[in-house]
Amino acid sequence: MGITAFIVDDELKSREVLKSLLETFCQEVQVVGMAGNIADSVEAIRKLNPQLVFLDISLKEGDSFQILAQLPKISFEIIFVTAYDEYSVRALKFSGIKCLFKPIDIDELIEAVEEVTSEPGRSNMAYELADGMIKSKFTRIPVITSGGLYFADINDILYFKKDTKGTLIKLVNGDSMLSEKKVHEFAAIILSDKFCQAGINLMVNRDKVIASLTRKDCLVFTNSVELKARPEEVKEVMNPA
């Protein structure tokens, strides 16, 4: 049985081409509808209940996250499509959401369809996570812990450090959070130049480091938190290239 799909793109030609590519190269996909704006998309998706939705990120009147926000539940798989939107793509990658670039590469399209249909079930949380990052312009980063999803203000973070289970995030108020993501994955979504990655296991908010108290093998932070570190890591934080 085929997979029902819906296409959202504000350019008619792009909608037609994607439909044609799917019909030719992904024959298991049956395009049941297409729309070019937010209101029509919301109405049609509700009515048609497709299994897969292709969403152009940037629409004339806004972005496709506005479509998702108007739906009570996301009960379909999503493949985002964009011409070039570096920041949105960073957020989507971090959230584990599939994204294709225009002009569409046929191999990538086939791979994306196979991937989302063979591993269904990306949660509403993934879209909430990507949207939160984009809307805050990456000043708030999502952390999924055993207790749920949190958005941490990057100004409240002292450092990210590798942990056996992922990454330990130390906050200014003394709290810590543990995420399954790796330090380098957080580095990809931190756009602030206040943060310095020292090797692959540590990323530090340099604004929170007290240079005068920092020792050869220990970083000292503004709230008196101390972090043991290798001398080369300390050196990299204190004297970034």
Partner 1 sequence: MIEALHINNLQSMKAFIGSHFMFNVLNQIQNRFLTGQTKEAVQVLSLYNKMLRHALNTSKTGMTSGTEEWKFLENYLISEQMRFQGDMQYHLTPELIEMGKMPAFILQPIVEATVHASLAIGHIANVQITFIKDAGGMLYQVRGSNTDQNIPEKYRENITRVKERIRIWNEHKMAPISLTENGDTRIIRMTL
Chain contacts with partner 1 (rule: CB under 8 A): 11-14, 16-17, 20-21, 37, 58, 60-62, 82-85, 101-104
How far, rounded to the nearest angstrom, does the alpha carbon of residue 87 sit from its chain's CA centroid?
Answer: 9
Short-list 90, 79, 102, CA closest to 14: 102
Q: Which is nearer to partner 1, 84 or 194 (CB)?
A: 84
CB of 177 to partner 1, least distance (A): 29
Q: Which is nearer to partner 1, 33 or 36 (CB)?
A: 36
Cβ-Cβ contacts under 8 Å for 202 (sequence gap 6 or more): 159, 160, 161, 162, 183, 229, 233, 237
Q: Which is nearer to partner 1, 54 or 186 (CB)?
A: 54
Q: Which is nearer to partner 1, 48 or 89 (CB)?
A: 89
CB of 135 to partner 1, least distance (A): 10
Q: Record the tokens describing residue 150, joined without a space.
A: 């949190």
CB of 87 to partner 1, least distance (A): 9
CB of 45 to partner 1, least distance (A): 19
**102 by DSSP, 3-state: which?**
coil
Per 3-state DSSP, what percentage of the chain is helix, strand, and coil (rounded to 5)? 35, 30, 30
CB of 183 to partner 1, least distance (A): 27
Cβ-Cβ contacts under 8 Å for 41 (sequence gap 6 or more): 6, 8, 35, 64, 67
User: CB count, 10 Å around CB of 211?
Assistant: 10
Q: Which is nearer to partner 1, 21 or 152 (CB)?
A: 21
